[in-house]
Chain A
Amino acid sequence: MRLKVLQKMLWAAVALAIPAYGALHLLDERAETPVAEVSFRPTFSLLDAEGRVRMPSDFAGKHLLVFFGFTNCPDVCPTTLAEVAQVMEGLGDDAGKVQPLFISIDPTRDRGLELAEYTAAFHPSILGLAGDEAQTRAAAGSFRIFYEREDSSGAPDGYTMAHSASLYLIGPDGNWLRQFSYGTPASEIMNDLKQRL
């Protein structure tokens, strides 16, 4: 009988240890997943500015150039969207084969901030998506990217967002192709895309 109790306790310990180990592993994942691994298919189900649900299948046949950010971000996000705009301009006739997406990782605030007007100010082709918190978590998890709210007295509304700042390229079949780390010149992204289109 005593052994049974001990056994139960041990099993309980195992049951606790497995998620704990998983959580530790998740914390490790703050570093982005290396790209050179088996291809995967990131997915999302998020609302556009008109309230329509958008999914990868809506863009089948196109390359997706995806950035996760937030519109209160004064530096990294405008800089990257400016690069995307330059890429789209540079692609010329091939621009229609690429759909740039701006996925908000601060969706509640961004939905009230004219997301479509924001993305269009950089380039009319950029589509802004902002789901609810759960949809956003799911999309980020699917892309294997990181974001986190950080309290900061020196930021609007008392918080800012830390987030993976790369651009992610998804192929016309929905498979992950590669990422462009923050600061990759537009010319480099354009040349890569031109070889694929």
Chain B
Amino acid sequence: MKYLLTALLLSLSATPLLACETVQLGSLEISEAWSRASIGMARPGAFYVTIRNTGATDDALAGIATPVSGKPMLHETVVKDGVASMPHAPAIPVPADSTVQLEPGGYHGMLMGLTQVLKEGETFPVTLTFREAGDVTVPVAIRGMGAKDAGCVDKKD
């Protein structure tokens, strides 16, 4: 039932292939960059992405930049004793030989001061700055407000 529903949700929303493609930066592989559609521009958006470090050197995501947000920042959702808070994350560690996901309920980019409405089905660029590997710009798929992941077909759940 769960899979059927997921399949249904996926088929209902056109998924741009771009977000499911992997962008390479040295030994970093960046994929599944997505965001939720926004209602207007008054509330912050969120940015999610998967970063795989295949190398032997630890790295860290130090910041993000995008033309759709006047003030993009990295945050981490922390749920402690059932209470959710959202401290600012100065940097997100990407250790050697590991995969880090910015995903709902964990690390995420908060896109404050939206400069445009995020419309489902469209994409926007985000530039990720890594301490070691430097900068890379990836396309971000805007999914529906009810989306919970990038909607890539190869995703296990």
Residues on A facing B (Cβ under 8 Å): 30-32, 71-76, 78-79, 81-83, 85-86, 89-90, 113-114, 117-118, 121-123, 146, 150, 152, 154-156, 160, 162-166, 179, 181-183, 185-187
Contacts and interface: CB of A to CB of B under 8 A. Distances in A.
Considering residues B86, B108, B113, B147, which has the most beta carbons from chain A within 10 angstroms of its beta carbon? Answer: B86
A114 B40 contact: yes
Contacts of B75: 74-75, 154
B83 A72 contact: no
Given A76-B104, A82-B146, A114-B40, 6 more contacts: A113-B42, A152-B86, A155-B44, A155-B86, A156-B113, A186-B2
A182 B79 contact: yes
B45 A74 contact: yes
A82 B110 CA distance: 18
A146 B105 contact: no
Interface in B65-89: 73, 75, 77, 79, 81-86, 88
B145 interface: yes
Nearest to A118: B39
6 contacts: A76-B104, A113-B42, A114-B40, A146-B83, A165-B82, A187-B5
B44 A72 contact: yes
Interface residues of B, number: 35
A78 B82 contact: no
A90 B5 contact: yes
Contacts of A114: 39-40
Interface of B: 1-2, 5, 9, 36-37, 39-40, 42-46, 73, 75, 77, 79, 81-86, 88, 104-105, 108, 110-113, 145-148
A162 B5 contact: no
A75 B104 contact: yes
Contact of A162 (B2, B45, B85, B105): B85
B79 A74 contact: no
B1 A79 contact: no
Given A78-B36, A79-B105, A182-B105, A86 B5 contact: yes
A80 to B, nearest CB: 9
